[in-house]
Amino acid sequence: MTAKPKLTKNQSVVLKALTRAKKPLTAYEILDLATVRTQGLKAPLTIYRALDRLRDEGLVHRIESLNAFLACCEKAGHTEPVGFVICDNCRKSVELRLSDCETHLGASAEAAGFQVGEIRVEMTGLCPACVKAAARQG
């Protein structure tokens, strides 16, 4: 087990904000949170620096398609790649382990002559709550 990284105050504030969020947040959405502003974080660069370190430590993930960030569901980080399912309606996101498909995707890419550096998987659709809401409306 790896030691828990020592975080700065700013990194802790950003991580706490993402942990409390019900959906991925952009850096500007993080900056707009009252709990973040009252801790003295006022500049986008401060948020981006904190996010960079949190990503390096494996504590947050970047959702590329949303240009937003999500707290990792594993306190110690992951030993295998993860992907995400993202609700098109409410932006709720859930991490999925990619251990089964990583080998298949990597082999397919290599068969096409590509050297894989990183695998990112993001699937979109509707979360269970939004599916129910759509069924009630229509």
Q: What angle do CA 80, 83, 89 make, to 5 degrees?
A: 160
- Tell me the two tokens of residue 20: 């409390």
**Closest by Cα among 62, 13, 19 to 41:** 13
Amino acid in the structure at residue 82: V
The overall longest dimension of the chain from CA atoms, in Å, is 52
* Global confidence as pTM: 0.83
Kindly give, in sequence order, each residue whose CB lies less than 8 Å from that of residue 36, ignoring residues fewer than 6 positions away: 13, 14, 17, 30, 47
Query: What's the CATH class of domain 78-138?
Result: alpha beta
Amino acid in the structure at residue 62: R
pLDDT tens per residue across span 45-80: 999 999 999 999 989 999 999 999 999 987 656 667
Distance of CA 20 to the CA centre of its chain: 13
**Closest by Cα among 42, 20, 18 to 32:** 42
Residue ranges of domains in the chain: 1-74, 78-138
For residue 3, the model assigns a pLDDT of 62
pLDDT tens per residue across span 74-115: 765 666 778 999 999 999 999 988 877 778 888 899 999 998
Query: What's the CATH class of domain 1-74?
Result: mainly alpha
